[in-house]
Structure 1
Amino acid sequence: MIDDPFRQWLSRHWGAPAIALHRAGITANQVTVVAAVLGVTASALVAVHLTGSGIALWLVSRLLDGYDGMLARLAGNGSLFGGYLDITFDMLAYSAMAIAFAVAMPADVVLWMVVLLGYVLAITTTLALSSLAEKTHRQLSSDRSIQFTRALAEGGETTLVYVLIALAPSVSRYVLVVWIALLAITVIQRTALARRLLS
């Protein structure tokens, strides 16, 4: 829900780093890979109870992930493979962090397993709807490689959940229950949209 507004804000107010990276010859795909490596490293830190350092590095990785699209547009060489790489590595990072929290908080492991199930269903409904809508020549979203539909549970909300749990682990179960509900609503929303557009 907050992903597109954040990208627009980042592009308008913090575009200078993307310009600097472009001038240095850094490609969008390289930024995507580095962001994923930082995200997985952040997950490893959380898993071994270095939560503060892990979440700080996670925020850096997600901020960096916001620049790959900008870099591709600056270079004028955005590719479908770049879009593939971006969504694949994003899911790697988000899932790795969920597993890290499950390791660090074994009492909540079942809830984290349900969260991972929610991720699988959320991304499956996204990709299936995007692919099938393209066959019917329907435009669902902006000029991104994959057509995402706005939803309650997106990357920005995922990061907010991770930060909240890191800062207040005592309420993690309540946060996770709400997060699971939002993931479920997201899947239902996309399924209803798919029924309306594709029937």
Structure 2
Amino acid sequence: MLDPLMRRLIDPPLRRAGATLARAGIGADGITLLAFVAGLAAAAAVALGQTWIGLALLALNRLGDGLDGAVARATGATDRGAFLDIVLDFVFYGLMVLGFAVAAPQNALPAAFLLASFMGTGASFLGYAVLAGKRGLSTDLRGRKSFFHMGGLTEGTETIAFLVLCCLFPQYFPLFAWIFGAACWLTALSRVVAGWQDFAGGPGRD
């Protein structure tokens, strides 16, 4: 929901930083992998109860996630890079939730509910993107992307805000997880309805 606004704020400095890194010969895929390593460390820190360290590593992960796209746009985006970026993003989000589940027994059930909701948002997001690409649909509301990025109540900005809150106030993770998980299910439902309407007719199921 907030991604279009956030993109307008962060894209100009990211473009400048990306151009600088590209001129220095730093590749987008390398940044993606380094950001994921920071994300793995963030999840491990959270699992060990070191949420402030986890928060710092989360910030590094998200900075890398922004810079890799900026570098890719400066040097020429590739399908491999886009694939790597989205897969590692989804894995990172799931591992952060797993970290909170490991950190405290009372987090286990809300974490399981949240991970199930991530399955709904992820499947609806990627499924819509596949068919939108097949039909030649495009959007630049969330910046220039290699494939269609559908919006919703819970997007990247909201997910990052949720994880930041959990790191700042880990004792409230169960409450945050139930609320955010419910919002994710609303997002998934809205995407299913949109897909049902937008992809009516045309080629049949494979």
TM-score (norm 1): 0.93
Q: Supply the AA of the counterpart residue of 1:16.
A: R
Residues 46 and 100, structure 1, Cα contact 8 Å, conserved in 2: yes
Tell me how far apart the structure 2 counterparts of residues 57 and 160 of structure 1 sit (CA, whole Å). Answer: 14
1:132 aligned residue = 131
1:64 aligned residue = 64
| 1:19-56 deviation digits (Å, cap 9, x = unpaired) | 32112211111111111111111111111111101111
Report deviation, 1:155. Answer: 1.9
1:115 correspondence with 2:117? no
1:148 aligned residue = 149
Tell me how far apart the structure 2 counterparts of residues 53 and 194 of structure 1 sit (CA, whole Å). Answer: 40
Residues 130 and 148, structure 1, Cα contact 8 Å, conserved in 2: yes
1:39 aligned residue = 39
* Percent identity for Structure 1 against Structure 2: 30
Over aligned residues, Cα RMSD in angstroms?
1.6
**Cα distance, 1:16–1:135 mapped onto 2, change above 3 Å:** closer
Report deviation, 1:141. Answer: 4.8
More off after superposition, 62-71 vs 142-151: 142-151
Q: Supply the AA of the counterpart residue of 1:4.
A: P
Gap regions ≥5 residues in structure 2:
201-206
**Cα distance, 1:125–1:174 mapped onto 2, change above 3 Å:** same
1:198 correspondence with 2:199? yes
More off after superposition, 101-110 vs 168-177: 168-177
State the number of aligned residues. 198
Gap regions ≥5 residues in structure 1:
none
Q: Supply the AA of the counterpart residue of 2:162.
A: V
| 1:95-139 deviation digits (Å, cap 9, x = unpaired) | 111100110122020110111111112111111111112222333
Tell me how far apart the structure 2 counterparts of residues 160 and 61 of structure 1 sit (CA, whole Å). Answer: 14
**Cα distance, 1:147–1:114 mapped onto 2, change above 3 Å:** same
Tell me how far apart the structure 2 counterparts of residues 181 and 152 of structure 1 sit (CA, whole Å). Answer: 10
Tell me how far apart the structure 2 counterparts of residues 13 and 26 of structure 1 sit (CA, whole Å). Answer: 17
**Cα distance, 1:57–1:128 mapped onto 2, change above 3 Å:** same
Q: Supply the AA of the counterpart residue of 2:195.
A: A
Q: Supply the AA of the counterpart residue of 2:49.
A: H
SS at match of 1:11: helix
**Cα distance, 1:140–1:57 mapped onto 2, change above 3 Å:** same
TM-score (norm 2): 0.90
Q: Supply the AA of the counterpart residue of 2:51.
A: T
More off after superposition, 150-159 vs 45-54: 150-159
More off after superposition, 152-161 vs 176-185: 152-161
